[in-house]
Amino acid sequence: MTLNVDISVSTQALQALEALEGAGHEAWVVGGCVRDSLLGREVNDFDIATSACWKQVESVMQDAGFTVHRTGVRHGTVTATLDGVPLEITTYRSDGAYSDGRHPDEVTFVGSIEEDLARRDFTVNALAFHPDRGLLDCWGGVSDLEAGVIRTVGDPARRFGEDGLRILRGCRFASQLGFEIDEETLQAMKSRKRMLLGVSAERVTHELDALLLGEHVHDALMETVGVLCAVIPELAACKGFDQKTPYHIYDVWEHIAWVVQRCPADRVVRWAALFHDIGKPAACFLDGDRAHFYGHALLSASLAKGAMERLLMSPAFMNRVLTLVRIHDDQIAATPKSVRRALVRLGGDVGLFRGLIGLKRADALAQSELGRPRVELADELEKTLDGVIASEAAFSVKQLAINGNDVLALGIPAGPKVGELLGAALDAVIDERVENERGALIELLLEHFL
Ligand code: ATP
Ligand code: MG
């Protein structure tokens, strides 16, 4: 990998460096922003490390016109914002253990940037840059960036022993950057994986989200499954589980890894892809030397529910993921009627239906040649869906020419019956037994349902 030599620092970060150094302190941009600039990747946010203590930073930055918030002064961090762009500015420090996986229990403020770089997690994140002094690379971060390697700063077992979150960060960087994890680092991730049990669910989920959305997620999942199963134990049984059917060329885990990689980069769909087949080892039975997995989608959903509850995901998010997992293998014909029916089952959620199609396509692509017709079917489903939407044909009660008030006006008392009748009217519209027209719908209700 050839690195990008010009690091472009945002105007706000440049102004912050100038303000701090103008006041007699030392300051560098550090961490992810240096890494991503060198890789030519988009930089999310610039972080600054400085010799100034937070009170000095606060006053210098306020004088320079920034708004300052004391976001983590116990750890030496303030956030300084200019023109809506926030910068995290942290005093040089060296960290003790991180028992909450987020903040070190104890920090010691130190005198030099070199000591500050030594506390950082990976060599590629332990880089500092200054527009006049250039790049500071004490841990071989540049050569690891060039070689595409994730390696801890210092002894990996000790560094993961201090903070279990680093283990997942390493897996996540592998997926985002397409890097390999250095062998000793990977070995220590595995030998210290129990540290992940002490990391908060919120932090775990945040890292897994980023991992699943990474561009190189297949490779990262293959490389790190022995680590990830410490946070999602349901994955362990998938690794190496031979599918023994002519439809599959991969074991369950590699199939899952390909489906995640090939489905749309959407949070709901990627989580659904991760879970869609985890029930297969449990559902499997052998008929001679051929395996069957009837009912696996429901078993997958049941395991997925448990995993997502442990990760404290929101009920609304879980519902969407579980819906996709449950129906990923259901057959939906590429006809307008059947697409509208499927949309009704999804509560009229077109985005979720597109996610389902993306999942189905990826699932078929990750099978043997026998899966090809299902790839074409997914393409046809998408076309039919576009046609249904363009035709403005109804697929949710909201689109009916009558609403709840019309049903109440027929003398039906408020309650579940109103929704049932509207649902029945929608069914009739989709079955083309009646036009989606107010008079016709009211007549239908009067004739058939009251
Ligand atoms: P991104 O912001 O793209 O997720 P990043 O590398 O900037 O990646 P941040 O969480 O913003 O990650 O952290 C900024 C820097 O702080 C990192 O680059 C790394 O140097 C250091 N760092 C963050 N978390 C840890 C940790 N748990 N242990 C040691 N160093 C850490
Ligand atoms: Mg960052």
Tens-place pLDDT, residues 248-285: 899 999 999 999 999 999 999 999 999 999 999 999 99
- DSSP at 316: H
Exposed/middle/buried for residue 339 (C-beta within 10 Å: 0-12, 13-18, 19+): buried
Q: Ligand 2: distance of its center to the CA of 287 in Å?
A: 52
Q: Same domain for 411 and 441?
A: yes
In sequence order, which residues have a C-beta less than 8 Å from that of residue 288 and are 6 or more positions away? none
Site to probe by mutation for ligand 1, drawn from 35, 45, 120, 196 as the one with most ligand atoms within 8 Å of Cβ, is 120
Q: Same domain for 294 and 332?
A: yes
Highest mean pLDDT among 29-38, 244-253, 284-293: 29-38
Q: Same domain for 257 and 343?
A: yes
Q: Same domain for 209 and 88?
A: no
Ligand nearest to the CA of 159: 1
Last residue of a domain, one of 375, 391, 407: 391
Contact 125, 172 (CB under 8 A): no
- DSSP at 446: I
Mean pLDDT of the chain: 94
Contact 160, 97 (CB under 8 A): no
**CATH code of residue 224:** 1.10.110.30
Nearest CA, atom 25, ligand 1: 121
What does the pLDDT look like over 170-208, one tens digit per residue? Answer: 999 999 999 999 999 999 999 999 999 999 999 999 999
Q: Ligand 1: distance of its center to the CA of 264 in Å?
A: 27
Give the Å distances, CA to CA, from 149 to 171, 181, 368: 12, 6, 32
Q: Same domain for 262 and 331?
A: yes
Q: Ligand 2: distance of its center to the CA of 37 in Å?
A: 12
Q: Same domain for 358 and 436?
A: no
Q: What share of the chain is helix, strand, coil (3-state, %, to 5)?
A: 55, 10, 30
Q: Which residue would you say has higher pLDDT here, 16 or 97?
A: 16
Within 333-371, residue ranges assigned H as helices are: 336-345, 350-365
Is 287 a residue whose pLDDT tops 80?
Answer: yes
Average pLDDT of the segment spanning 416-439: 93
CA distance 343 to 320: 13
Residue 50's nearest CA partner among 92, 11, 10 is 92
Last residue of a domain, one of 353, 376, 391: 391
Is 348 a residue whose pLDDT tops 70?
Answer: yes
Nearest CA, atom 8, ligand 1: 32
Q: Ligand 2: distance of its center to the CA of 125 in Å?
A: 10
Nearest CA, atom 10, ligand 1: 32
Average pLDDT of the segment spanning 235-247: 91
Last residue of a domain, one of 350, 371, 391: 391
Phi, psi of 95 (to 5 degrees): -105, 150
CA distance 313 to 166: 21
Q: Same domain for 31 and 62?
A: yes
Q: Are strands 47-50 and 85-91 parallel, antiparallel or unpaired?
A: parallel
Q: Same domain for 350 and 330?
A: yes
Q: Ligand 1: distance of its center to the CA of 393 in Å?
A: 49
What is the span of the domain harbouring residue 405? 397-448
Percent of the chain at pLDDT > 70 equals 99
CA distance 175 to 118: 24
- Copy the structure tokens of residue 50: 């400085």
Q: Same domain for 346 and 249?
A: yes
Per the structure, the count of domains in the chain is 4
Q: Same domain for 62 and 50?
A: yes
At residue 102, the pLDDT reads: 61
User: Which residues have any ligand 1 atom within 6 Å of their CB?
Assistant: 31-32, 44, 47, 120-121, 125-126, 163, 165-166
In sequence order, which residues have a C-beta less than 8 Å from that of residue 238 and are 6 or more positions away? 225, 251, 252, 253, 256, 277, 278, 280, 281
Contact 185, 216 (CB under 8 A): no
At residue 230, the pLDDT reads: 98
Residue 66's nearest CA partner among 47, 55, 80 is 80
Nearest CA, atom 2, ligand 1: 32
Nearest CA, atom 27, ligand 1: 166
Q: Ligand 1: distance of its center to the CA of 386 in Å?
A: 42
Q: Same domain for 4 and 142?
A: yes
CA quadruple 342, 346, 350, 355: dihedral positive or negative?
negative
- Copy the structure tokens of residue 63: 């004088």
Site to probe by mutation for ligand 1, drawn from 105, 107, 125, 139 as the one with most ligand atoms within 8 Å of Cβ, is 125
Contact 76, 107 (CB under 8 A): yes
